[in-house]
Amino acid sequence: MHIHILGICGTFMGSLAVLAKQMGLHVSGSDEKVYPPMSTHLQEQGIDLCEGFKPDHLQPPPDLVIIGNALSRGNPAVEYVLSEGLSYTSGPQWLAQYVLRDRWVLGVAGTHGKTTTSAMLAWILEYAGLKPGYLIGGVTNNFSQSANLGDSDFFVVEADEYDSAFFDKRSKFIHYSSRTLVLNNLEFDHADIFENLEAIEKQFHHLIRTVPGNGLIIFPYNDAAIEKVLGMGCWTPRQQFEINVPAKNCQQYAENAGIFWNVELSNDHGSEFQLVKYEKKRNGEEVTNSYSLCWSQTGLHNVKNALAALVAAHHVGVDVPTAIAALSKYSGVKRRMELRGEVKGIKIYDDFAHHPTAIKMTLNGIAARLQSDSGPARLIAVIEPRSATMKLGIHQKELSDSCYAADVVLWYRPKDAKLDLEALVSASDGASFIFDSVDEIVSHLKELCLPGDNVVIMSNGGFEGIHDKVLRALD
């Protein structure tokens, strides 16, 4: 069987292609933005890639076309599929029908941290010997590929709230039938398809309605939007997790839900912490257990991601010490504070953050780590406001506040954007600059950077290969 994937280099569709290849299918695909790491990853899997969306790519006709949600009417390939009557489906529908059916699905949803939490969860299950299947919206360092069919009933999937396709406007995660569901957080995003936060909350409630009564919903303590969604109706047991919750609150929530998971930090940047499990057993006995973790990751957001992953793994039978041991060997996801290189003592990082909250958490995390290290170190943020929500200026004020931890911020001006970069710069407490080209940014960094500096480049796109350009310029 030959399937052709339109939009194959997207993080979700690329992982889908890997699964299809493992199933023995002939897989090809088209995209207009073919760049690493996904393009390299797909080529290594023996998947044929085509640049652009030409009807010629669909000749001879494949048995099935999977259409990504970034494509719509007017696209030449889409119009050809419809005109020629080719069989087509959405990525989420194909995944549900051919991969997830009859499996125990562990879904990871939320505005932030889905990829990282999914990667952590899949790695914990793998380390525990459960041989899970997984689909992660990124390339992880613990696995050789972004997706795997696995060899057990368990399947970990990054459960995205974005719509499924131009012909199916439901959120992707509605298709997956998760039995174990992580809700990391919930904020307004994807302004190109959602009118407001309430519209997203409605989709999340549809998701909650699909989780069976013998499943589990895992969510953070004191997240108002998630609490609101659960208040619309929930028919599934729940467990909560959080950082530095007072013991009396933990005991109260353990009594209500059976278990509450808390973290007590050993330092400000999250590289060491104590996990405390509060449990209220059916016979009335109260049990508290504490576990220590020292790992390579930093940032409070990663601590929360780890905690959510551990709780989900616990639900399918992984004991806490095994999960802790797995996390101590977790080595991250590409494009999530990935060190791309170091030249003359200047470190260049790549990060996928494209929402004010994600930017803030990432910068705060590295700033806390730098403060604990000895010697002078500046934090320089280079940000491309590339997502639809950012370019529309929806989070104008929040975006300005998100960069407080950086010593210097360089903004790349997106084309046709309503975001007021001048207002961002004027509202900044530190040094902040605007650039209209990547070459200008590279030249500025060449003059600006000093030994000991840490440059964090943030974008959810390829950013015109800026990382390698900066490294070459500094060298």
Q: What is the 3-state secondary structure (H, E, C) of the chain?
A: CEEEEECCCCHHHHHHHHHHHHCCCEEEEEECCCCCCHHHHHHHCCCEEEECCCHHHHCCCCCEEEECCCCCCCCHHHHHHHHHCCCEEEHHHHHHHHHHCCCEEEEEECCCCHHHHHHHHHHHHHHCCCCCEEECCCCECCCCCCEECCCCCEEEEECCCCEEECCEEEEHHHHCCCCEEEECCCCCCCCCCCCCHHHHHHHHHHHHHCCCCCCEEEEECCCHHHHHHHHCCCCCCEEEEEECCCHHHHHHHHHHHCEEEEEEECCCCCCEEEEEEEEECCCCCEEEEEEEEECCCCCHHHHHHHHHHHHHHHHCCCCHHHHHHHHHCCCCECCCCEEEEEECCEEEEEECCCCHHHHHHHHHHHHHHHHHCCCCCCEEEEECCCCHHHHCCCCHHHHHHCCCCCCEEEEECCCCCCCCHHHHHHHCCCEEEEECCHHHHHHHHHHHCCCCCEEEEECCCCHHHHHHHHHHHHC
Where is average pLDDT lowest: 177-181, 191-195, 256-260?
191-195
Where is average pLDDT lowest: 116-120, 344-348, 392-396?
392-396
Residue pair 98/37 in contact (Cβ under 8 Å)? The answer is no
Domain boundaries along the sequence of the chain: 2-91, 102-328, 338-474
Per-residue pLDDT at 353 exceeds 80: no
Average pLDDT estimate for 251-269: 84
Residue 376's pLDDT band (cuts 50, 70, 90): low
CA gap 398, 196 in Å, rounded: 16
CA gap 148, 123 in Å, rounded: 12
Instruction: State the Cα torsion 174-178-179-183 to the nearest 10°.
Output: -90
Architecture of domain 2-91 in CATH?
3-Layer(aba) Sandwich (3.40)
Residue pair 391/417 in contact (Cβ under 8 Å)? The answer is yes
Instruction: Provide the pLDDT for residue 364.
Output: 82
- Annotation: CATH topology of 338-474: Protein-Tyrosine Phosphatase; Chain A (3.90.190)
Average pLDDT estimate for 296-309: 89
Residue 42's pLDDT band (cuts 50, 70, 90): confident
pLDDT in tens, 134-165: 998 877 889 988 899 999 999 999 998 889 99
Question: Does the predicted model carry a pTM greater than 0.75?
Answer: yes
Per-residue pLDDT at 475 exceeds 90: no
| Angle of CA points 43, 157, 172, to nearest 5° | 95
Instruction: Provide the pLDDT for residue 372.
Output: 66
pLDDT in tens, 363-374: 887 787 777 665
Instruction: Provide the pLDDT for residue 404.
Output: 83
CATH 3.90.245.10 for domain 102-328, yes or no, is no
Give the pairing type, strands 133-135 and 64-67. Answer: unpaired
The answer to whether the bond into 246 is cis (omega within 30° of 0) is no
Average pLDDT estimate for 3-16: 91
Average pLDDT estimate for 36-57: 86
Residue 267's pLDDT band (cuts 50, 70, 90): confident
DSSP bridge partners of 433: 410
Residue 191's pLDDT band (cuts 50, 70, 90): low
Q: Which residue has the tokens 């590409």?
A: 334
pLDDT in tens, 285-296: 888 899 999 988
Average pLDDT estimate for 453-468: 88
The highest-confidence range among 149-153, 251-255, 461-465, by mean pLDDT, is 149-153
Which pair of structure tokens corresponds to residue 61?
């006709």
pLDDT in tens, 313-338: 999 999 999 999 999 999 877 777 78
Instruction: Provide the pLDDT for residue 374.
Output: 58
Average pLDDT estimate for 328-353: 85
Residue type present at position 428: S
CA gap 353, 148 in Å, rounded: 25
Residue 234's pLDDT band (cuts 50, 70, 90): very high
Residue 361's pLDDT band (cuts 50, 70, 90): confident
Taking the alpha carbons of 327, 247, 258, 236 in that order, is the dihedral positive or negative?
A: negative
Instruction: Provide the pLDDT for residue 81.
Output: 98
